[in-house]
Amino acid sequence: MRLTAAPLVALATTFTTVATAPAKRAAPQGIDVSHFQGVVDFAAAAANGVSFAYIKATEGTTFVDPDFSANYNGATTAGLIRGGYHFAHPDTSSGATQAEYFLAHGGGWSSDGITLPGALDIEYNPDGAECYGLSASAMVSWIKDFSDTYQARTGVFPVIYTTTDWWTTCTGNSAAFASTNPLWIARYSSSIGTLPAGWSFTTFWQYADSGPNPGDQDEFNGSLQGLKNLALG
């Protein structure tokens, strides 16, 4: 993820009072990776406690991650529950167009118990205007167009990856997706903090951008069976 705003503040607080050992996190652990990590050793990650992975597939309608296939296949071979994610560029084409592009390049879903719903990574614009120059209502419409298109094609709503700060600023803190789309919040802290409007809980939490495994560090809010259920739809 190209998360730029949240400060990396709280790694120290993830340590227990036993000074030598990091706190064991009970929830299923995951990672998210892109070509920035290259081709990842998922067997090693699995041996090191990782249960799931999100792998970057696409960005806008012009970029397919060159390591997507190798990473997706590697995660599959390692027995991980995995899915793809799409980095949104709401300033370049419609939500429907970008959902179709994502679906055509690895973002698909099937109810096989190992495929997570595709994730829409919608966050700080790496290249330009805040909120990609869209009004809050136009941003909500764009996300709805993406989400509805994905749902119509796959049967499941995409996971929404964002930060509470970005969502508040750029969607006007819309509650329109809370009853349909699983939430994946990025917050690099010892607690997840305030969630966007509507959602009473998060499904995934990206809690650090580095750690014991490659890429960003994530956890699933639930049990391993709950994670498998999400992959069943």
Ligand X SMILES: *[C@@H]1O[C@H](CO)[C@@H](O)[C@H](O)[C@H]1NC(C)=O
Which residues are known to be catalytic?
32, 123
**CB 233 to ligand X: min, Å:** 18
**CB 219 to ligand X: min, Å:** 9
Q: Half-sphere exposure of 141 toward its Cβ, with a 13 Å CA cutoff?
A: 8
CB 88 within 8 A of CB 146: yes
Q: In this complex, which beta carbon is closest to ligand X, that of residue 98 or of residue 221?
A: 221
Amino acid at 126: P
The binder of ligand X chosen from 202, 206, 213, 217 (CB under 6 A): 202
Judged by CB under 6 A, the number of residues near ligand X is 4
Residue nearest to ligand X (CB): 201
What x-and-dash track marks residues 177-196 binding ligand X by CB under 6 A? ---------------x----
229 lies in the binding site for ligand X (CB under 6 A):
no
Quick count: other Cβ atoms within 10 Å of Cβ 36?
13
201 lies in the binding site for ligand X (CB under 6 A):
yes
Vertex 169 angle, CA 165 and 172, to 5°: 120
Q: Report the distance separating Cα 120 and Cα 50, nearest Å.
A: 22
CB 179 within 8 A of CB 129: no
Vertex 157 angle, CA 90 and 45, to 5°: 90
The binder of ligand X chosen from 221, 227, 230, 231 (CB under 6 A): 221
CB 163 within 8 A of CB 123: yes
DSSP tag of 22: B
**CB 231 to ligand X: min, Å:** 17
CB 185 within 8 A of CB 208: no
Reading the block at residue 162, the tokens are 């964002």
**CB 221 to ligand X: min, Å:** 4
Strand partners, 216: 32
**CB 218 to ligand X: min, Å:** 12
Q: In this complex, which beta carbon is closest to ligand X, that of residue 157 or of residue 205?
A: 205
Residues interacting with ligand X, by CB under 6 A? Answer: 192, 201-202, 221
